[in-house]
Amino acid sequence: MTKIKSSEMSPIQRRGRNNKHRGYTTEKQLERFLNENGIPAERVTMSGALKFVKHKDLHGDVNITCGKKLIRVEVKSRMKLPAYIVGVRHNKPWHVKSIEHLCYVLTQDEFISLCKEGILPEGGTKINAARCNTLVKWFHQDESEIVAMKEFGKRQFYFAVKFKTANKIGGKFNDNNCY
């Protein structure tokens, strides 16, 4: 099979190649970030290409190990993430702590403290899951337990962690968040 030069590709072919490269790069950045912070992580070989294989270890983009538990992570890179993820609404700080019946929303520092110490953030707003259709789709994409998100050109990762997964990792539930 001969490799097609970029100049010979259609715009659709170039966009597909760029998206694949961006996804691979973001997955490797997440893997490196987690390993540097003491959380064993490994990028899934051919992530995204093996969705229909029955072996669950091949689902998701990155697998992390907390204790003896393997947790699937879906990785997303977007031009602009939703306001409830990045914590800015109408140019003012806005910290969303959780999305009802779905997950916690954590910064990368909060996620590291959850994985290492079992500490969940305090304070913040709880929002309705009906406003978060995109995030719900990302969780269902590869039956992931965590969705890691990053904006183009920024170093900060954000994590959406299902309530049951946070409990599995060691996070303590507040009665108001346990669904």
130 falls within a domain: yes
2 falls within a domain: no
Summarised one tens digit per residue, pLDDT across range 93-149 is: 677 788 888 889 999 999 998 888 888 877 778 888 777 888 888 888 878 899 999
17 falls within a domain: yes
Which amino acid is residue 81, in one-letter code? L
178 falls within a domain: no
CB atoms within 10 A of CB 47: 21
177 falls within a domain: no
Question: 75 is written with which tokens?
Answer: 């990785």
CA separation for the pair 80, 60 (Å, rounded): 22
CA separation for the pair 67, 176 (Å, rounded): 26
105 falls within a domain: yes
* pLDDT over 70 (residue 11): no
**pLDDT value for 162:** 92
**pLDDT value for 176:** 45
88 falls within a domain: yes
CA separation for the pair 11, 9 (Å, rounded): 6
Q: Which residue has the higher pLDDT, 19 or 27?
A: 27
Greatest mean pLDDT range, 15-24, 39-48, 101-110, 164-173: 101-110
Q: How many domains does the chain have?
A: 1
3 falls within a domain: no
Q: Which domain holds residue 165?
A: 9-169
pLDDT confidence tier of residue 40, bands split at 50, 70 and 90: very high
Residues with Cβ within 8 Å of 40's Cβ and at least 6 positions away in sequence, in order, are 34, 64, 65
**pLDDT value for 178:** 38
